[in-house]
Amino acid sequence: MLFRLLVVFVVLLIGTNFVNYLLFSGQVDSTPAGNDEPRTIIRYEQRDRDLEEETEVFFEALDRITSNYFYSVDTDKLIEGAIRGMIDIIDDPQVRFYDPDELEEFLLDTRGSYGGVGIRIIEADEDIVVFEAFPDSPAERSGIVAGDRILEADGHQLIGEGLDRAVELLRGPSDTTVDIKVRRPGAEDPIEMTVRREEIQITTVTRERLEGNVGYIDVTNFDSNTADEFLERLKQLEQEGLEQGLILDLRNNPGGLVDQVVEIAGEIVPEGEIVRLVGRDGEVRNVYKSSAPGKPYPIVVLINEESASAAELLAGALQDRDAALLVGQATFGKASVQQLERLPGENAIMLTVANYFTPSGHNIDKHGITPDYEVEMPEILHYYRYFHPGRLELNDYGADVEMLQEMLTQLGYEIDTSGYFDEQTSQALTEFQVNAGIEPGGEFDDQTWVKLRETLDVASREQDEQLNFGLDLIKDPEPWNLIGGTE
């Protein structure tokens, strides 16, 4: 196994064409990847240079280290380190090496389901904290709530053990159980419970009906189930009536599997081109097309600086084909194509192999998509859900305190956003705690975090200027008469 991995490593070492060995047959591995595309064929020229001559220095260095170095070394780790070093030199944030454990975790993430209890966890103050319990999950049915700190799982202490260890203990096959001990905000004693694991289906698409009978679909990312979820939700809305229009929310969507985007676009992009795949030589490798007639109702797409990759492809196709108007802020700018290349020993490398272009030939990568209507949102309403600093109290200072102050200001409390936890901040926090119905103490703790997040969830919808602009746009007939550049 080591020799095979070494051979692969040597081939990878040969300059920018190191993919040659893996792709010489002309076939690209069709394994799903985080930003993968439908199965494609990509060809590279074979190099004529002498492989042995080019890799002589590497073999010599490896031999000297393993033969002469005073301390014992793990040759597998040396080779893995060399591969990771090559990836660092490439300096492409999308190119990654996966060891067997990392690969397994990655494939789980793209599958859209896993065996577990149905919670999202974060680490704070060396504790494992429940960020949210998924609706109708084993965790929710067992009474686990956001803010619970998980102290133990199956008798193993989790404090200071990190997220990976917690995930390892909480996940497992369906119909097995895990004993959990949690410390709940406001409770004196720990709570113990036994939770039965299930196959947790990650929901990436939600829908609702907004004022004025406008449909709304929010897509959080694109995994292997997203297209089916989207088409089902859209069908439900259309059956209820979508004459007024549809708002498609792609904000904060980091992308995912492009084959899912192509399937969705095949339903809502009018007949013709969706996206094109362009290789490193500028040649168009593939063009993905829609055969749909187009929708008879107006569509507004919400985007922001966190909309990336597959989300940008969908937004760009709708914009270029005059099928929707885009509202929000310029997108992230990531449209390079990654392909998962398997290596011996259950290792893998994610490689950038091409770029995607919109139907008009726009290269999104590193440029992003400019909305038709630029509408800003308060920054705090983008990032408040990621906020969990642990305990904050009088005389604390720093970015966490400043963010807390910005949250309270957004909710109407008049305080200075100085980053210093002063008496004014304590008084405002006490007032918030009273209004939220929790014990007022003027300090920020887990219970306050939960209530603050719930309050900002409501405020973020009420104060969502991008969504409100989209609603007004759908009701105004003039922009839809002008779409496509004709009056």
Q: Within 10 A of 355 (CB to CB), how many other CB atoms are there?
A: 19
Looking at this protein, which amino acid is placed at residue 447?
Q
Three-class SS state of 166? helix
Instruction: Give CA–CA dist 328/346, Å, rounded.
Output: 42
Helices 75-90/56-68 angle, 10° precision: 140
Contact between 220 and 233 under an 8 Å Cβ cutoff? The reply is: no
Instruction: Give CA–CA dist 151/184, Å, rounded.
Output: 10
**Minimal CA–CA distance to 251: which of 330, 144, 354?**
330
Active site (catalytic) residues: 309, 320, 334
Q: Mind giving me the DSSP string for 197-217?
A: -EEEEPP-EEEEEEGGGEEEE
Instruction: Give CA–CA dist 309/336, Å, rounded.
Output: 8
Three-class SS state of 148? coil
Question: What secondary structure letter does DSSP report for 315?
Answer: H
CA-CA-CA-CA torsion for 369, 353, 260, 340, nearest 10 degrees? -140
Three-class SS state of 164? helix
Contact between 97 and 21 under an 8 Å Cβ cutoff? The reply is: no
Distance spanning both ends of the chain, measured CA to CA: 67
Three-class SS state of 477? helix
